[in-house]
Amino acid sequence: MKVLVTGSSGLIGSEAVAHFDRQGHEVVGVDNNMRREFFGAAGDTLWNLERLKNATRRFTHFALDIRDRTGVEELFRSQRFGLIVHCAAQPSHDKAREIPLVDFEVNALGTIHLLEATRQHCPDAVFVFLSTNKVYGDAPNEIPMKELDTRYDYARTEDYDGVTENCRIDRTLHSLFGVSKAAADLVAQEYGRYFGMQVGVFRGGCLTGPLHSAVELHGFLSYLVKVTLNGGSYSVFGYKGKQVRDNIHSHDVVRAIEEFAVNPRPGEVYNLGGGRENSVSMLEAISQIAQLAGRKLDWRYVDEARKGDHICYISNMGKFKSHYPSWKITRNLAAILEEMVASQQAQLRSNSAGR
Ligand SMILES: NC(=O)c1ccc[n+]([C@@H]2O[C@H](COP(=O)([O-])OP(=O)(O)OC[C@H]3O[C@@H](n4cnc5c(N)ncnc54)[C@H](O)[C@@H]3O)[C@@H](O)[C@H]2O)c1
């Protein structure tokens, strides 16, 4: 099978390229390194592209911009894909307010370019879209919460397993990023429901792993590890540092995509996160990383929450697990953190050896 991965030099895209290449598929990657344009030098993904070129067997890369409709058309005219994994995005909640038009063009317009090219040229292909839990806006904050020593948690037992796909996506504050992704999420569902195409939508919690080109505005856990080890200061915004995120390793994300690709359900939407077991608050993450890294983070508290930020978000994975019972989380939070700390330490050693 020929697999197209957009955003192929990013966290999820690069994991998908390596995974499907290992399975023996021919993989085409599309990434124009726009993460560098969004976030500056620290967001540059070329290191990951070079790594992939060395680590794969049948991978080809195009520095194509998904906003370029003609370019996307040409790519689909010249190659026939059986699976499209769409990960290219402007991925930051906070960044979007500076660049609302670019954010919308990349996230919404870029997505419909790919869906329409799929419909025109390979309508039987499976199309997986990486959406986000920000499509729920701040509606998850309406769930009754209780405050514990180091985190917020859901107050009612019926909410224990987290937010389901039934959470509403309108009449809520999203951030512009949440809106551009919600537009893409809806259009992707429509290609599944209206056209009957094999489209799946995954609403990610915090997707993580050492392959992130982490920056302050995106890649929370890996950025936290980076600043703890490299030095520098870190700001925690609001909710006393007790806001909770659930974290899932990029490998487990790609395994979920693979499960869907083998047995697609047109137009389905799934939450995708590490669930309660992989959930952590800012305060807890800072302390666990300090223990692993053997040094403390220099951080300060800013008593103003980020606009639209979730207080406690845990992905309820019940629907996905019931449709795909052989999928499970293979990396728990401790393993994720250990791997990220080890990878950052290795990078620091190689930087100092190169000096
Ligand atoms: N990382 C998370 O915590 C998280 C959470 C929820 C949802 N998601 C979604 O998952 C997907 C993958 O996220 P990620 O963490 O791998 O992001 P990432 O930023 O690491 O990867 C995205 C890649 O897309 C590329 N790109 C951006 N604009 C492009 C364009 N116009 N044309 C071609 N390539 C372009 C970037 O250069 C980057 O390499 C995104 O859709 C994101 O919104 C991520």
How many whole angstroms separate alpha carbon 228 and alpha carbon 230? 6
Residue 81 φ/ψ, nearest 5 degrees: -95, 145
Cβ–ligand 1 distance for 130 under 6 Å, the answer: yes
Cβ–ligand 1 distance for 89 under 6 Å, the answer: yes
Which residue's C-alpha comes closest to atom 26 of ligand 1? 88
The letter for the amino acid at 46 is L
Return the CA Rg of the chain.
19
Cβ–ligand 1 distance for 88 under 6 Å, the answer: yes
Which residue's C-alpha comes closest to atom 2 of ligand 1? 207
Q: Please provide the size of the chain in residues.
A: 355
> Dmax over Cα atoms in the chain, in whole Å?
57
Give the distance (Å) from ligand 1 centre to CA of residue 230.
Answer: 24
Residues in contact with 277: Cβ distance below 8 Å, sequence separation at least 6, in sequence order: 329, 332, 333
Helices 110-121 & 176-193 angle (0-180, nearest 10): 10
Cβ–ligand 1 distance for 32 under 6 Å, the answer: yes
How many whole angstroms separate alpha carbon 118 and alpha carbon 12? 21
The preferred substitution site among 9, 31, 269 for testing ligand 1, maximizing ligand atoms within 8 Å of CB, is 31
Give the distance (Å) from ligand 1 centre to CA of residue 103.
Answer: 12
Cβ–ligand 1 distance for 180 under 6 Å, the answer: no
| Closest C-alpha among 52, 44, 47 to residue 15 | 52
Torsion of CA 339, 342, 343, 347, to 10 degrees: 170
What are the average pLDDT values for consecutive 10-residue runs of the chain, which has 355 residues?
98 98 98 98 96 98 98 98 98 96 98 98 98 98 98 98 98 97 98 98 96 88 94 95 98 98 98 98 97 96 95 98 98 97 91 75
The DSSP-derived string for 260-308 is HHHS--TTEEEEES-TGGGEEEHHHHHHHHHHHHTS--EEEEESSPPTT
Which residue's C-alpha comes closest to atom 34 of ligand 1? 31
Residues in contact with 54: Cβ distance below 8 Å, sequence separation at least 6, in sequence order: none
Cβ–ligand 1 distance for 33 under 6 Å, the answer: yes
Residue 355: what pLDDT?
A: 64
Cβ–ligand 1 distance for 34 under 6 Å, the answer: yes
The preferred substitution site among 35, 187, 249 for testing ligand 1, maximizing ligand atoms within 8 Å of CB, is 35
Give the distance (Å) from ligand 1 centre to CA of residue 75.
Answer: 20
